[in-house]
Amino acid sequence: MRSFENLARLVRELDPTIDARVVRDGGARDLVLPQRPTLTFSPAAIRHYPPQPGRVFCGYPLSKSEECEALVRAGISVPKWVVLTEDDTPDLSDFGGYVVRKPNYGGRSAEVRLVSKERVRWRPMTTRVAGTSDSVIIQQFIYTGPLPTSYRVCTLFGRALYSIKSQAGADHPQLTTLADAASAMKQERFTISANGRDGHSGLNFDEEIIRLGERAHAAFPDIPLLGFDILREVPSGRLYVLEANAIGYVWHFQTQQLLDFGISFVEQFDGIRKAAFILAEKTQLHAR
C-alpha cells in the first residue's frame, strides 16, 4: 500500500489537474469524487468494479493458451504448444522427446513439469493459486543451459518497470545436454523452474530481452500491467515468451525487498516515478 500511495502522490505532483486516489478492491463504494473524467488502474484483476463511470484498465484471468494465442497474433515467438483435456488428446508427434506439462490455469510455477512425451496423459491439475484447471497445456521444451534460467520483464502499458534474471541454484540437478533429462528427472530435487527454492535472482539489463517484453505488451492493449516470462534458448540464442501473467500480481515494489533479496526493482529504472509518468499520461488520454 505504501508504494501505491507514493505512486498517487507522484501522479499529483506531475500533473496537478489529476486527483489521484488509492482504494482497495471493493473499498470504493463510499468514495466521493467530483464528476470529472475518470480512469481506474488496477495492478490485478478487479473483483468489485468501482461505482463511478470511467475507463477501467485492469488485469484479466486469461489461460496460458489464450495468452499464447494473443502473443502469436502479435507476431511474438512462443514455444509450440497444444491443449490437453479429458476429451481431447492432441498429437505430439511434432514435439521432441520431452515436453513441459502445466495447468492451463495456474501460477507461481506450480505443477510445471518436464516429462517424456510418451508419458503424457490427462489428469486434472490443482494448484493453490488457481484451483483445479479443466485443461493442461503441453509446451515445447526450451533448453536454457545446464541450470534452468528465465527472465521476467514487467511492463506498464508497454514500458518496462523492472526486469530480473532467475536461475536455479548450483546444487540443482543439471542438464548438461538434453540427453541428461531422463536421469535428472529421477532426482528428488529436480524441477524445470528457474525460480525454485534453491534458485537466485538478480536485476536484468539485457536490452534485447527488455525490448521483447515491451513489444509483447501490444498483444494485450487493455491490460495495463503484465509480467512477461522469457527464455533464451541454448545454443541458438533465440528468445521465446512463455506467458504474460495477464491476471496481474506482478507489482513488486515492496520496501522490504532490498533487505530480503539485496535487489531493488524501484531503483533499477526508477520504476514508481516512471509508472506515475505513464499513468498521468494515460489519464489525460483515456479518462472519461
At 212-242, the pLDDT tens digits run: 999 999 999 999 999 999 999 999 999 999 9
87 domain-assigned: yes
Residue 23 belongs to what domain range?
A: 2-60+271-286
Are both 8 and 47 inside the same structural domain?
yes
Q: Structurally, how many domains does the chain consist of?
A: 2
195-218: pLDDT as tens digits = 766 778 899 999 999 999 999 999
Three-state DSSP state, 36: coil
**Structural contact between residues 219 and 74, judged by C-beta atoms closer than 8 angstroms:** yes
**Structural contact between residues 45 and 247, judged by C-beta atoms closer than 8 angstroms:** yes
245: confidence class by pLDDT, cuts 50, 70, 90: very high
Three-state DSSP state, 195: coil
Question: What pLDDT does residue 52 have?
Answer: 78
pLDDT over 90 (residue 176): no
73 by Cβ neighbours in 10 Å (0-12 / 13-18 / 19+) ranks as exposed
- Residue 29 to residues 9, 89, 133, Cα–Cα distance (Å): 22, 47, 33
12: confidence class by pLDDT, cuts 50, 70, 90: very high
73 domain-assigned: no
Q: Of the candidates 111, 141, 171, which is a domain's last residue?
A: 141
Instruction: Compute the mean pLDDT over every residue in the chain, rounded to the nearest whole number.
Output: 87
132 domain-assigned: yes
61-81: pLDDT as tens digits = 999 999 999 999 999 999 999
Q: Measure the CA dihedral 157/286/15/38, to 10°.
A: -120
Question: What pLDDT does residue 186 have?
Answer: 57
86: confidence class by pLDDT, cuts 50, 70, 90: confident
Question: What pLDDT does residue 59 have?
Answer: 96
**Structural contact between residues 172 and 250, judged by C-beta atoms closer than 8 angstroms:** no
264: confidence class by pLDDT, cuts 50, 70, 90: confident
Are both 85 and 137 inside the same structural domain?
yes
Q: Of the candidates 98, 114, 141, which is a domain's last residue?
A: 141
Beta bridge partners of 44: 248
Q: Of the candidates 102, 119, 141, which is a domain's last residue?
A: 141
Indicate the helix (H) or strand (E) that contains 279: helix 271-286
Question: What pLDDT does residue 178 have?
Answer: 67
Question: What pLDDT does residue 255 have?
Answer: 59
- Cα–Cα distance measured from residue 108 to residue 103, given in angstroms and rounded to the nearest whole number: 11
Average pLDDT over residues 250-279: 82
Question: What pLDDT does residue 109 have?
Answer: 67
103 domain-assigned: yes
155 domain-assigned: no
265 domain-assigned: no
Among candidates 253, 223, 248, which has minimal Cα distance to 107?
A: 248
Greatest mean pLDDT range, 96-110, 138-152, 181-195: 138-152
Are both 89 and 48 inside the same structural domain?
no
Give Cα 99 distance to the centre of its chain: 21
pLDDT over 80 (residue 283): yes
Average pLDDT over residues 245-255: 86
111 domain-assigned: yes
Question: What pLDDT does residue 28 have?
Answer: 67
Question: What pLDDT does residue 260 have?
Answer: 60
Beta bridge partners of 150: 166
Average pLDDT over residues 101-116: 80
85 domain-assigned: yes
